[in-house]
Amino acid sequence: MENINIIWGNVTRQLQDEMSTVAFDTWIKPVKPVEVAGSSITLCVPGGSQKGSLNKSMLVTKYRSLIESSIETVTGKNLELDVCFENDNSSKALDDPIKYESTLNPKYTFENFIVGNNNNLAQAASLAVAESPAHKYNPLFIYGGSGLGKTHLIQAIGNYYIKNNPGKRILYTTSEKFTYELVTAIREKTNQEFRNKHRTVDLLLMDDVQFLATKELAQEEFFHTFNALYEAGKQIVLTSDRLPSETPHLTDRLKTRFQMGLLADIQPPDYETRLAILKSKIENEYFTFDEEIVEYVANNITSNVRDLEGALKRILAYAGIERTNTISMELAQKALKEILSTLPQRNITINVIIDEVEKYYHLPKGSLITKKRSNDIAYPRHIAMYISRITLDSSYGSIGDAFNRDHSTVMNAVKKIKKMVTEDAELREIIDELVTNIKKD
Ligand code: ADP
Ligand code: MG
């Protein structure tokens, strides 16, 4: 068997049986086989990014022997693994089960975490740390805005670690809880217990570390906690809403320590990731959602994942009140009306949409509402009709009025673009960008 693709195909089938789905998808899926030459086999991972280097280091350290032995089973040869970068430049303690239950949410797992371009480094780094703690990225510092999945990820590390390392001690805490417990310990003279609790764990997960910055005493104590754990070779994971360097009042020595490992950011999800998240959240719902409704939510709620979940909950609550299990567009629009009106956005009208689409396609003002049917105008017009339908509470008839067209023309245009959107990632991006522009003041 000489063909590298055939060899790699067989190797991956074996690896799939031996690894968890999440680990397989994170580390093995991005790999491209390159060649078998002499006594070595070369594989490539996407280069030019932190995610790529993380991927490479996981392959050559943690997964080397597993991959090499699968290769040996498949080829009968003992080949040495060589990993290169693709030149594309793109890119609790078990003795206290009650405490464990009360601090880690069992729903926050890697399996339930949808990976997109916005969070793939943070997810891969978290999984690496959960699989091989204190190996390379210590501390792991995850940062990003509110509602983007930091608590989910840091707890996923805890849930994963507990499951695979029974008997090890982990502690999930927040900087506020740490501060509160420290103050209580000082008052009640139980400093020693406080120290033991924080300095004898195998894995420390500290959520929302930005709040530590305002408390000098807590910073001092945490500095010593950090050092004690670090020197004992224990893994530390921190989350924050901003980079250490951008955290006011954080002492320089803590800044330095927080930056010693890997800084991994989480950005707001793009349209595709929002869709995937929504779909995963409604998968087990009793209610049936039309694709159109999921798209409506993904198009309108763009801020963060918490708001996406909030929107879904509202829709479900409305469906409950109306005693229906099929969710209509009207119901979804009604449910989201209030939330949308509290979000900072301009008053979107069909004219705003027409303006933005014309601008985007460099068309003279008013072109979309003319009778012209040439493709350079008809196509943007169809896009504008589609965006009007998905972002506004408008009927086909009223959209038609704005474009001087009848109801069925609009319906066909919307149908056509909707189909294209499912097949064309570039078009999805264009529409995402247009919707963002439309909502911006
Ligand atoms: P943060 O701590 O960054 O403010 P959370 O981790 O509390 O955000 O996330 C808010 C909600 O969104 C949680 O219910 C979480 O499960 C969900 N969530 C965030 N990111 C994702 C994702 N990528 N996939 C699935 N659910 C997510
Ligand atoms: Mg959080």
Interval between CA 149 and ligand 1 midpoint (Å): 3
The ligand placed nearest to the CA atom of residue 210 is 2
CA 43-263-99 angle, to 5 degrees, is 105
The pLDDT of residue 96 is 40
Q: What are the backbone dihedrals phi and psi of residue 375, each rounded to the nearest 5 degrees, phi first?
A: -60, -35
Nearest to 85 by CA among 31, 123, 36: 31
Residues with CB under 6 A from ligand 1: 112-114, 119, 146-152, 277, 305-306, 309
Assess contact for 302 and 339: CB atoms under 8 A: no
Number of other residues whose CB lies within 10 A of the CB of residue 319:
21
Q: How far apart are the first and last CA of the chain?
A: 61
Residue type, 106: P
Contact between 30 and 46 (Cβ < 8 Å): yes
DSSP string, 349-381: -HHHHHHHHHHHTTPPTTGGGSS---HHHHHHH
Q: Compute the distance between CA of residue 283 and CA of residue 300 in angstroms, rounded to an integer.
A: 20
- The pLDDT value recorded for residue 95 is 37
Ligand 1 pocket check: which of 26, 306, 307, 308 to mutate, most ligand atoms within 8 Å of Cβ? Answer: 306
Residue to mutate, 242, 305, 308, 309, ligand 1, most ligand atoms under 8 Å from C-beta: 305
C-alpha 263 to ligand 1 mean position (Å)? 19
- Ramachandran bin of 89, using left for φ above 0, alpha for ψ from -120 to 50, beta for the remaining angles: left
Q: In this structure, are residues 331 and 315 in contact, taking their beta carbons and an 8 Å threshold?
A: yes
pLDDT at 344: 53
Question: Whose alpha carbon is nearest atom 16 of ligand 1?
Answer: 152
Q: How far is Cα 104 from Cα 156, in angstroms, rounded to an integer? A: 8
Give the ligand whose atoms come closest to the C-alpha of residue 147. Answer: 1
Ligand lying nearest the CA atom of residue 144:
1
Q: Which of 6, 13, 29, 5 is nearest to 70 (CA)?
A: 13
pLDDT reported for residue 428: 86
Residue partners of 210: CB distance under 8 A and separation at least 6: 175, 240, 241, 242, 247
Q: Which domains can be identified in the chain, with CATH numbers?
A: 4-86 (3.30.300.180), 97-266 (3.40.50.300), 271-342 (1.10.8.60), 350-439 (1.10.1750.10)
Q: Return the residue whose CA atom lies nearest to atom 5 of ligand 1.
A: 149
Span from the CA of 313 to the centroid of ligand 1 (angstroms): 14
CB atoms within 10 A of CB 23: 20
Going residue by residue through the chain (441 aa), what tens digit of pLDDT does each one get? 568 888 999 999 999 999 999 999 999 999 999 988 888 899 999 887 888 888 888 998 889 999 999 999 888 888 999 998 886 543 333 334 334 334 899 999 999 999 999 999 999 999 999 999 988 899 999 999 999 999 999 999 999 999 999 889 999 999 999 999 999 999 999 999 999 999 999 999 999 999 998 889 999 999 999 999 999 999 999 999 999 999 999 999 999 999 999 999 999 999 999 999 999 999 877 788 888 999 999 999 998 999 999 999 999 989 888 888 888 999 999 999 888 876 555 567 899 999 999 999 999 999 999 988 899 999 999 999 999 988 876 788 889 999 999 999 999 999 999 999 888 888 988 998 898 888 776
344 — phi, psi (to 5°)? -70, 105
Q: What is the pLDDT of residue 41?
A: 92
- Looking from the CA of residue 144, the nearest atom of ligand 1 is 3
What pLDDT was estimated at residue 48? 74
**Coil vs helix vs strand at 325:** coil
| pLDDT the model gives residue 421 | 87
CB crowding 118-149: b at 16 or more within 10 Å, else e: bbbbbbbbbbbbbbebbebbbbbbbbbeebbb
User: Tell me, what's the pLDDT at 226?
Assistant: 98
| The model's pTM | 0.72
- At residue 250's C-alpha, the angle toward residues 244 and 254, to 5°, is 70
